[in-house]
Amino acid sequence: MADYKAPLRDMRFVLNEVFEVSKLWAALPGLAEAVDEDTAMAVLEEAGKVTGKTIAPLSRAADEEGCHWDNGAVRTPAGFIEAYQTYAEGGWVGVGGDPVYGGMGMPKVISAQVEEMVNSSSLAFGLYPMLTAGACLSINAHASEELKEKYLPNMYAGVWAGSMCLTEPHAGTDLGIIRTRAEPQADGSYKVSGTKIFITGGEHDLTENIIHLVLAKLPDAPAGPKGISLFLVPKFLVNADGSLGARNPATCGSIEHKMGIQASATCVMNFDEATGYLVGEANKGLAAMFTMMNYERLGVGIQGLASAERSYQNAVEYARDRLQSRSPTGPQAKDKVADPIIVHPDVRRMLLTMKALNEGGRAFSTYVAMQLDTAKYSEEASTRKRAEDLVALLTPVAKAFLTDLGLEAAVHGQQVFGGHGYIREWGQEQLVRDVRITQIYEGTNGIQALDLMGRKIVGSGGAFYKLFADEIRHFTATAGSELGEFVKPLNAALDDLDSLTAWVLDRAKGNPNEIGAASVEYLHAFGYTAYAYMWALMARKALEKQGDDSFYASKLGTARFYFARLLPRLQSLCASVKAGSESLYLLDAEQF
């Protein structure tokens, strides 16, 4: 496996040249004094070092060893405790955290790049700080000042970790039917009882305490999702002076034996009258949890991108070194017995597909992160509203499209290796196994597609979609003639997506099955169009700078490949959606 090198040059290109994020920061009072371009780039440089030198070398051995469960205790693989301590001491767990409680205070566009780096270095390792950062978001947004002061500093510092406890054995996505209960106590605390499954980082040995955010129902709660509350349940109770007290009866019953992310502890958690504290208002736990969901779902999309990036780096190195056969146009390495496989058209197809999808995904995830920053920090109500609507629209696309394409790209990287890609020692098969989970957790990609199609497109009557489409139209209308080779196909793609959106909106009025039937293909059609917009933005900047160095020439070549070979996938997706839902219901249940 190639040594992981953080793609800092491409990150700087996206942040500083394509999106000019320093201008955004200057316009947002909450960020104007907190970060500038030099500081942000220094942060990314340091993140690249710690992920590349400390975490990435552990990835394969940690996958082989996995986590160990023993009578409720979980031991992480060799080297993880020391690596986590190094990561935490650098402030990386709290990179996007509130400075009032010890966080670094970086905007999401920066923490998103850090997330990519840590997940490229080891997806299993990256889950531990990711869950902690997500828990901190909900606590900071909804908990009382007392809880924030008591828990956030140690969580941002990486001394304590966090987990999200949502899913139950009988209730996956349908959280309205959870059975975990919370009984109020005279001192204002609650006794939380129930079983949660698939809890990432529910138990481990990386930190001295773990702070669980648990969804549960109060005795008098209304039925369904409107009766869910959120509780903070620590592994160890915390005394008034901040020291650790008694062990709370929140225990790990077992860990799952999984396809991938072996070094991440996926736990069954049992709460047996564990002491907990209400976060936010009673019966409004889903709203409190969803504060973190847009961030977490973007983070999962970035995990797909991160795995694909690692696979690409491995595949490129291998393709340059592996000798096999001669180029169709004649020998290229005449002093060798064969040519490097990078000369072969099919290998180039796979590598360019990976490169185009990864770089398009990095631009798109950064764009979504910019909307999150704008929604959080802007003082203009209309600007915040527009950003919030874009976040609502684009979050399911970011989660599902980046992870679907992350698997595709990881498989391409494995395929470049041929038989060696199927062998563990090369690392490619691990990336395929690891990235597969990203399509499943934080809401399966089918659920994300339903959210996009049902709630965001049909639910808004197309208003959210129009925001994004109008922005693209403005770009193409004002682009110079030198961008014609990109603007023309982008306009055509947007016309197709406009037509597809109108078709679904119309058909859904008479047949609700059309929403579910169209959803997955529609999300992909949307994603390819959004990537085309990203590539047009990148091509504009590359055209301005193409005489400077080969980086910009590479960027232009990859943009041309995307428009020539990947954007045409849109046509088959549109045809599939417009075939309608009828063919899905031609068989009775017993005929399957």
Residues marked active site are found at: 442
- Residue 397 phi, psi dihedral angles, 5° rounding: -65, -45
Do residues 214 and 257 make contact, with C-beta atoms less than 8 angstroms apart?
A: no
Q: How many CA atoms lie within 13 A of 575 on its CB side?
A: 5
Helices (H), 338-427: 345-377, 381-416
| 3-state secondary structure at position 77 | coil
Q: How buried is residue 289: exposed, middle or buried, by Cβ count under 10 Å (0-12/13-18/19+)?
A: buried
- In whole angstroms, how far apart are CA 402 and each of 18, 175, 205, 347, 531? 20, 25, 31, 22, 10
- Residue 212 phi, psi dihedral angles, 5° rounding: -90, 135
310-312-315-317 Cα dihedral, nearest 10 degrees: -80
Terminal CA-CA length for the chain: 43
Tell me how far apart the alpha carbons of residues 262 and 68 are, in angstroms, rounded to a whole number. 10
Helices (H), 479-512: 484-510
Pairing, β 160-165 against β 209-216? parallel
Q: How many CA atoms lie within 13 A of 145 on its CB side?
A: 1
Do residues 500 and 453 make contact, with C-beta atoms less than 8 angstroms apart?
A: no
Q: What is the DSSP letter of 210?
A: E
Tell me how far apart the alpha carbons of residues 540 and 536 are, in angstroms, rounded to a whole number. 6
Six-digit token string for 32: 């104007």
Quote the Cα angle for 440-413-433, to 5°: 30
Tell me how far apart the alpha carbons of residues 25 and 137 are, in angstroms, rounded to a whole number. 20
Closest CA to 81 of 133, 128, 131: 128
Tell me how far apart the alpha carbons of residues 398 and 396 are, in angstroms, rounded to a whole number. 5
Tell me how far apart the alpha carbons of residues 38 and 542 are, in angstroms, rounded to a whole number. 22
- Residue 466 phi, psi dihedral angles, 5° rounding: -60, -35
| 3-state secondary structure at position 327 | coil
Do residues 228 and 221 make contact, with C-beta atoms less than 8 angstroms apart?
A: yes
Which amino acid is present at 537? L
Q: What is the DSSP letter of 585?
A: G
Six-digit token string for 72: 């409720």
Closest CA to 17 of 302, 352, 354, 363: 363
- Residue 217 phi, psi dihedral angles, 5° rounding: -115, 140
